[in-house]
Amino acid sequence: MDLNAYSKTILIAPLNWGLGHATRCIPIIKALQENNYIPIIASDGIALELLRKEFPYLQFLELPSYQIEYAKNGKNFKWKLFKSCPKMIQAIYNEKKMVKEWIKKYEIDGIISDNRLGVFSKKIPSVFMTHQLNVMTGNTTWLTSKMHQNIIKKYTTCWVPDFSTKPNLTGALGHLEKTNLVIQYIGPLSRLHKKQTEIKYDLMIILSGPEPQRGILEEQLKIEILRYSGKTIFIKGVVEKNQIKEQIGDVTYYNFMNTRQLEQAFNESDKVLCRSGYTTVMDLAKLDKKAFFIPTPGQYEQEYLAKKYKKEGLVPYAEQDNFKIENLLEIENFKGLPQIDAVLNWEFLFQVFEK
């Protein structure tokens, strides 16, 4: 790309639902910079805070919160989400207005929305990124999938961070039998890299996701880990102003880690205990790490992925209420996720902004 050419400004906006959407945007933001684009980052809550820590020199804009909350009881997840729909719809309406103003004010030339439904414009190229072409919601999957696909139709193209053919990581989530959507399978995304390092920890525990379920699992695992005999690094997934490290017996606790620290911790750990969120799945595949999954109660997407990988003999899982530390012994009976060594062609993908 001609570095003397006009540098286009791209608005990149990840959903604030846990940390996964924000973290998988990190390699995209870096690639935009490497290809002479100027990224402006827009989000809210902990997703915005995490990206501010990663890119303190970039411009940040705050979008309205979707106010997504999980139920304490996973069985009430769908009802809790339904109740929050009016607030979510209002937030989407507000972000549409804000984006319209920002395009003029900041001379934005293109948009990348990671599941933010109102970050879109008909006037400039707009990319929607998702691994869920089908949105799993139990017996209403057909409805939520159709609604989501109708939103995707508005965008110039849809990036799916997976492979188009089998074997792939998303299964039915990210693949449709028939569709007229403009879809580009860009390959799995991870901000992390595999390194040859000494193993310092027998187990890495990494948590993420909205409250209260993140906190509920943290308290449960703090008790379970007392019966574990190996060295453990425990990352709570709570993004705060300052990093806090605490040593209790053989367990080293962190409230959060930046990308460099997290990459080191993953590489120095033998096994991983975590949620079955798709961003974590992509990281594990990139780093060739064996894991045990505890899907977020009531989150159909995570439950689907956990069941899929167990059925394929890749990764074992347990429901949150049933998990015991002894379950980790099952890891030895599974192959682990297939290691990913895909190289993304960013210059080709970014051509959407050159039309």
Is 4 a residue whose pLDDT tops 90?
no
For residue range 256-287, list pLDDT tens digits in order.
Answer: 999 999 999 999 999 999 999 999 999 999 99
Amino acid at 333: N
Q: What is the mean pLDDT of the chain?
A: 92
pLDDT at residue 138, rounded to an integer: 84
Longest dimension (CA), the chain: 60
Is 68 a residue whose pLDDT tops 70?
no
- What's the pLDDT band for 135 if we cut at 50, 70, 90? very high
Q: How far apart are CA 43 and CA 112, in angstroms?
A: 12
Tokens standing for residue 260: 């460099």
What lies within 8 Å, CB to CB, of 323 at 6+ separation is 220, 224, 294
Q: What one-character-per-residue DSSP string does 224-292 give?
A: HGGG--S-EEEE-----SS--EEEETTEEEES---HHHHHHHHHTEEEEEE---HHHHHHHHHHT-EEE
Q: Which helix (H) or strand (E) holds 14?
A: strand 9-14
What lies within 8 Å, CB to CB, of 203 at 6+ separation is 228, 230, 231, 232, 233, 269, 270, 271, 272, 273, 328
Residue with the two structure tokens 């990352």: 235
Nearest partner of 309 among 330, 323, 329, judged by Cα: 330
For residue range 296-315, list pLDDT tens digits in order.
Answer: 998 899 999 999 999 999 99
pLDDT at residue 72, rounded to an integer: 61
pLDDT at residue 73, rounded to an integer: 62
Is 242 a residue whose pLDDT tops 70?
yes
Beta-bridge mates of residue 290: 271
Among the ranges given (10-14, 239-243, 307-311), the one the predictor scored with the smallest mean pLDDT: 239-243
- What's the pLDDT band for 84 if we cut at 50, 70, 90? low
Nearest partner of 285 among 312, 318, 325, judged by Cα: 312
For residue range 140-188, list pLDDT tens digits in order.
Answer: 888 989 999 999 999 999 999 999 998 899 999 999 998 999 999 999 9
